[in-house]
């Protein structure tokens, strides 16, 4: 009943994908071979100690805390159940999870570009990125990795909504992942307007589709109110966003994040690793050349889009998709204030 016969071409395609995913897993272990965790500190130590002192319900569904992240805490409970006292296992566990993200990125990029090499490069770029290193080098990195995976699934389904005529199922999957990501980290509640953007682009008139993301957002707020006593996300170091938010810092952080994308470490020194001033001259030259190439590509793209709009008298799917990806990054700007980084 549930069996499906795959053609020889489909089987060959799946085999190639499996081989590339295996290569990504091997690359993840090779790139991160020098990372080792020999001890736990601060948040990592607290997470590990709570696991040994609390029951499953207390650990996954705490009442009275400043945060409520049951999806992440359930995953952390499983991870710590496997690791136990063997904290050196944290790194290989997180490497495997990063390889899963890289594999999904490969499949996503392959669909966007219709090219396996492009998809493979996207996966490798993630494995070699600072964000991947951040996920792997600490116990708490699992939370950020889970958020990224949920976000990619949401974006994939939103992209499918834009390019497909029948998109109800994809929209539903995105809404479900929105629920999961909000209970993994509360900062991702800001993704809500993206669902309205998709429905606006599709000129959707079904009330239930407009209501679905609102219902999830409302549910998240109700659960947070019952579990934490409030709906405003907590900041770092026992602070609150409402007390630390500063519009000047917010704008400054936006420009810092844009520079990060371009390869310039312009933020606080403790978040950079190597500051821009301390960066080698040839690396600076390489970054500047890359920015120049990116600028040329951007000009060509904008010119092509203007030409398409003038001829078709309407915005095309490629422009809608581009706006979706740019907006998704804007929604993910991690600093609503300099202290909202936990």
> Both 149 and 226 in a single domain?
yes
Give me the mean pLDDT over the 154-162 stretch.
89
The whole domain housing 186 covers 1-231
- With 70 as the cut, is the pLDDT of residue 244 above it? no
Q: pLDDT digit string (tens) for 27-37?
A: 999 988 888 88
Q: Give me the pLDDT at residue 336, please.
A: 34
Q: Are residues 166 and 314 in the same domain?
A: no
Residues 185 and 277 in one domain: no
Percent of the chain with pLDDT over 90: 22
| Last-in-domain residue among 231, 250, 280 | 231
Do residue 200 and residue 259 come from a single domain? no
Among 231, 254, 270, give the residue marking a domain's end.
231
The Cα 141–Cα 43 span in angstroms is 11
Is the pTM value of this prediction over 0.95? Answer: no
Comparing CA positions, the residue from 201, 229, 195, 236 lying closest to residue 214 is 195
Same domain, 219 and 177: yes
Count of domains in the chain? 2
Shared-domain flag, residues 185 and 245: no
pLDDT at position 245 is 67
- Per-residue pLDDT band for 153 (boundaries 50, 70, 90) equals very high
Same domain, 255 and 207: no
pLDDT for residue 149 is more than 70? yes
CB 172, CB 210: distance < 8 Å:
no
Position 26 pLDDT exceeds 90: yes
The answer on 211 and 75 residing in a single domain is: yes
Query: Is 88 in contact with 36 (CB distance < 8 Å)?
Result: yes
One domain, residues 159 and 213? yes
The pLDDT value recorded for residue 100 is 93
**Domain termination residue (choose one: 231, 252, 285):** 231
Same domain? For 143 and 3 the reply is yes
Work out the percent of the chain whose per-residue pLDDT is above 70: 82
Pair 96, 1 in one domain: yes
Quote the CA–CA distance of 118 and 125 in Å, as a whole number. Answer: 10
Closest CA to 217 of 197, 193, 242, 241: 193
Instruction: Kindly report, residue by residue over 49-81, the tens digit of the pLDDT.
Output: 888 788 888 888 888 777 888 999 999 898 888
Residues 57 and 113 in one domain: yes
């Amino acid at each position: 009943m549930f069996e499906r016969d795959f053609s020889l071409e489909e089987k060959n395609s799946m085999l190639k994908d499996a081989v590339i995913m295996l290569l990504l897993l091997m690359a993840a272990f090779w790139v991160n071979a020098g990372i080792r965790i020999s001890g736990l500190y601060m948040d990592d130590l607290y997470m590990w100690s709570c696991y040994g002192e609390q029951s499953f319900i207390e650990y996954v569904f705490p009442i009275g805390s400043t945060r409520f992240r049951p999806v992440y805490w359930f995953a952390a409970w499983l991870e710590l159940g496997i690791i136990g006292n063997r904290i050196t296992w944290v790194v290989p566990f997180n490497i495997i999870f990063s390889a899963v993200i890289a594999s999904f990125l490969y499949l996503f990029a392959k669909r966007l570009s219709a090219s396996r090499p492009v998809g493979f490069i996207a996966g490798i770029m993630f494995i070699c990125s600072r964000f991947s290193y951040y996920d792997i080098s600490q116990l708490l990195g699992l939370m950020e990795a889970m958020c990224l995976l949920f976000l990619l699934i949401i974006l994939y389904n939103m992209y499918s909504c834009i390019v497909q005529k029948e998109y109800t199922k994809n929209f539903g999957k995105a809404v479900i992942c929105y629920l999961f990501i909000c209970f993994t980290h509360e900062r991702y509640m800001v993704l809500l307007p993206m669902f309205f953007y998709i429905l606006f682009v599709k000129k959707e008139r079904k009330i239930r589709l407009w209501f679905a993301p609102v219902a999830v957002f409302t549910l998240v707020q109700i659960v947070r109110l019952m579990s934490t006593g409030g709906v405003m996300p907590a900041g770092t170091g026992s602070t609150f966003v409402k007390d630390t938010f500063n519009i000047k810092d917010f704008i400054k952080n936006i420009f810092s994040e844009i520079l990060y994308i371009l390869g310039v470490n312009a933020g606080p020194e403790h978040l950079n690793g190597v500051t821009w001033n301390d960066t080698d001259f040839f690396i600076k030259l390489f970054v500047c050349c890359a920015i120049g190439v990116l600028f040329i590509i951007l000009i060509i793209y904008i010119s092509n889009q203007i030409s398409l709009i003038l001829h078709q008298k309407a915005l095309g799917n490629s422009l809608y998709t581009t706006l979706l990806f740019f907006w998704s990054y804007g929604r993910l700007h991690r600093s609503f204030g300099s202290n909202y980084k936990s």
